[in-house]
Every structure is written in structure tokens, then in C-alpha cells.
Structure 1
Amino acid sequence: MKITLLGYMGSGKTTIGKQLSEQQKIPFIDLDHYIEEKIGKSVSDIFDQDGEIFFRLKEHEYLKELLEKDESFVLSLGGGTPCYAGNMDVIVNKENVTSVYLRTSIDTIVERLEQEKDSRPLVAKLNKEELHEFVAKHLFERSFFYEKASQKVVTSNKTVAEIVSEIEAILPNKQ
């Protein structure tokens, strides 16, 4: 069983993914970290030195590589992963893959990103109003791809434990 978590940055993919992997007793993989290990550079350095097109090609390549593996895992995707190179089609058409969209409100995302600005270069220089507009625009553009996920879980006003339980309840092969 492979579980892919998708959603906008700040939607909780990493936090939920780590907890879900513990509960399911399967490994957790963060796609961005996987790419960094494979290439030997940070995502920021890849974007700066090699460009976004190179990054998106590698992201697609490594996503397919991971989904071809025989073992079970929880995979946290980058916020943009579903939107490029036909990645959502690869995910939803792959057997034994459950894709879960962590549907998070704009206000919740903005609140979380406000607290994490230092570690989020894309939004580091935006004030709260600009950040709200930035997130709303991106969510609107990306929702077409996110909504293709086989499962959707609303995360706002829920604890990590509640979200993980909700995901576990919708998994096809509950352990």
C-alpha cells in the first residue's frame, strides 16, 4: 500500500505523513528530501542553479521511481508536484496507491505560513495580506489537480490525531 499526501504548502503533509507512517508501521518519504538526496543539492539550489524545468523533470522521474517500488510507504508530495508533468495522472492510475488531498482553508494555511516564513523562501517577504492573496491564487490554480485525488480530507479545526484517524478509516486495505 502506498499513500500519497498532497495539498498546498502548510496543509500538513509532512506532519500528518510522519504520524500516519508511525500508525501504519510503514516508512515515511518526503519527495523533496528524496530529490535532494538523489541530486545532492537542496531544492532551493536546484531551482537557482538548474531551473524549475530541470527540477520538475527530476520530480516526475523520482515520483515514478518511488511508485514503482514494491514496498509500502507514506509519501508527502511537494505542493506543486500534482500540477506538473502529468503527475496526478501517474498517481491516480497507479494500482495500490491511495492519494489523499489534505484540503485546508486559506486562513489556516496563511496562519501556518506566517509562523514558518523563515523556512519558506517562496513567501518569506510577503506581509499577511499579500500572503493571503498569494495562497488564494495558488489554491485556485492548483485545486483542479488536487481534486483528482482518490480521497479528500478536510483538515481545518482538527488535530493531527483526528486527521490521521480519518485517513486510516478511508484506506482500502486497513491493517
Structure 2
Amino acid sequence: MKIILLGYMASGKSTIGKQLAATLLIPFVDLDNYIEECEGKSIKKIFEEEGEIYFRNKEHEYLKELLNKNEDFVLSLGGGTPCYAGNIDVINSYTNVISVYLRANIGTLVNRLELDRVNRPLVASLTNEQLTEYIAKHLFERQFYYNQAKNVITIDSKSMEDIVDEINSLLS
């Protein structure tokens, strides 16, 4: 069984994924970290040196590589992963994959990103008003892909434990 967590930046994919994996006693994999290990450089460096098209091609390649492994794991995707190269269709084509969209409203995402802005290069220089517009635009563009996940969990005002329990209930 492979559990794929998808959603917007700051929706909790990595935090929830690590806790879920620990609960299930299976490995946790962050796709961006996996790409960085395989490529031997940071995502930022890949974008700078090779460009976004190269990155998206590699992202697609490594996603398929992971999905074809004969192991169970929890996988956290990058926020844009489901939206490129037919990745959501690839994910949904596997019978042993449970995809979960961690849906958050704009307010939740803005609050989280305001707190972690310095660690998020894409939003670090935005004002609060620009941040809200940026998130709203991206969510509108990406919701078509995100909503194709086999499961959708709204995470607003829920604790990490409640979200992990909710995902666990989908597995039984």
C-alpha cells in the first residue's frame, strides 16, 4: 500500500506524512527530498541551472520510479506535482495507491505561510495582501487536479492527530 499526500504548500503534507508513516510503521518519503538526493542538488539549484521543464520531467520520472517500487510508504508530493505531466492520472492508475488531498482554505494557508515565509522562497517577498491573492490564484488553478485524488480531507481547524486518524480510517 502506498499513501500519497497532495495539496497546496503548507497544507501539512510532510508533517502529516511523517506522523502517518510512524503510526503505520512504514517509511515516509518526501518527493522533493527524493529528487534532491537523486539529482545531487537542491530543487532551487535544479530550477536555476536546468529550468522548470527539466525539473517537471525529473519529478514525473522519480514519481513513477517510487510508485513502481515493491514497498509500502507514505509519499508527500510537491504542491505542483499533481498538476504537471499527467501525474495525477499516473497516481490514480495504480490500484495499490491511496491518494489523499489535504484541502485547506485560503485563510489557513495564509496563516501558516505568514509564519513560515522565510523558508518558502516562492512567497518570501510577498506582502500579506499579495500572499492571499497568490494562494487564491494557485488554488483556483490547481483544484481541478487536487480534487482528482481518491480521497479529500479538509484540514482546517483539525489537529495533526485528528487528520492522521481520519486518513487511517480510510485504510480500513
Same fold (TM over 0.5): yes
Distance in 1, matches of 2:78 and 2:146, equals 12
CA RMSD of aligned residues (A): 0.5
Which structure 2 residues correspond to residues 5-154 of structure 1 after superposition, within 5 A? 5-154=5-154
Supply the AA of the counterpart residue of 1:8.
Answer: Y
For 1:110-143, what per-residue CA distance to the aligned partner results, in whole angstroms no more than 9, with x for missing partners?
1000111111000000011100000000000000
**Aligned partner of residue 107 in structure 1, secondary structure:** helix
- The residue number in structure 2 matching 1:3 is 3
Distance in 2, matches of 1:14 and 1:105, equals 18
Distance in 2, matches of 1:72 and 1:167, equals 15
Give unmatched runs, 5+ long, in structure 2: none
State percent identity of aligned pairs. Answer: 61
The count of residues paired between Structure 1 and Structure 2 equals 172
**Aligned partner of residue 124 in structure 2, secondary structure:** coil
Distance in 1, matches of 2:100 and 2:25, equals 18
CA drift of 1:95 comes to 1.6
TM-score, normalising length from structure 2? 0.99
CA drift of 1:7 comes to 0.1
Supply the AA of the counterpart residue of 2:139.
Answer: L
**Aligned partner of residue 122 in structure 2, secondary structure:** coil
TM-score, normalising length from structure 1? 0.98
Give unmatched runs, 5+ long, in structure 1: none
CA drift of 1:88 comes to 0.2
Distance in 2, matches of 1:25 and 1:10, equals 24
For 1:9-58, what per-residue CA distance to the aligned partner results, in whole angstroms no more than 9, with x for missing partners?
00000000000000000000000000000000000000011000000000
Distance in 2, matches of 1:85 and 1:45, equals 21
